[in-house]
Each structure stands twice: as structure tokens, then as C-alpha cells.
Amino acid sequence: MTAIGTIDRPLTRDPLKQALMSPNTTTSEQPHGSATADFITAGAITSRQNRTREMQLIPEALARAHMEDRMREADAERHALRLVAARRMQRRAERVSLRAKRALAMAVMH
């Protein structure tokens, strides 16, 4: 059975990572062009670990950014509600002030 590549020795098209040509061409244990053990253990495992760590941190970063956006929206909404309430109280105070002026004017006239 001729395997193109295996899990332990995947076929690579990078010439630097290809296995060296062995003088014994009768053995078919390794597929032609499979990566050597040195390349698999040296670079690939660490890059896989880093990539895995980075990929595991992506949802946390997205969640953190989402929560920051939600907090910013909530602060803006709170600020807008406070502004609306302040304007409402100001109008109410102006109406009460006008009512008091009218009442004073009516008391002075009679």
C-alpha cells in the first residue's frame, strides 16, 4: 500500500522540510517527501502549541471586547437617561416658579 502521507510523517511540499533521500530505496516505511522527525518535533509542535494557545484566547478576547462595548453602551444610555430626567426636572421647576409668581401677583392685587 502506498500512502501519500501519514499522521506522524505528513507529506510536505516545502523542500526544506522534506526527508533526505535515503540510499535504501526498497523500504517503503516512509512516504517520499515526508517530514523528518527533527522537523516535526522541533518546529511543528511548538507552533501548534502557540497556535492552540492563541486560538483558545480568541474567544476570551472577543468576549472582553463585547463586554467593553456593552459597558460603553450602558454608560451612554445611563448618561442620556440622566440628561432627560434633568431636563424634565428643570421644566417642572420652571412651571412651579411661574405658578408661584402668579400666586404672588394675585395676592398683591387683591
Positive or negative CA dihedral for 88, 94, 98, 100? positive
Helix runs in the chain, H state only: 37-39, 45-109
Question: DSSP state, 35?
Answer: B
pLDDT at 18 over 70: no
CA atoms within a 13 Å half-sphere pointing along the CA-CB vector of 103:
6
* Alpha carbon 100 to chain centroid, angstroms: 58
Instruction: Provide the percentage of residues in the chain whose pLDDT is more than 90.
Output: 45
pLDDT at 81 over 90: yes
- Neighbour count for residue 35 (Cβ, 10 Å): 21
Instruction: Indicate the SS3 state at residue 8.
Output: coil
Per residue in 24-78, pLDDT (tens digit) is: 555 555 555 555 555 455 555 555 566 677 788 889 999 999 999 999 999 999 9
pLDDT, position 41: 55
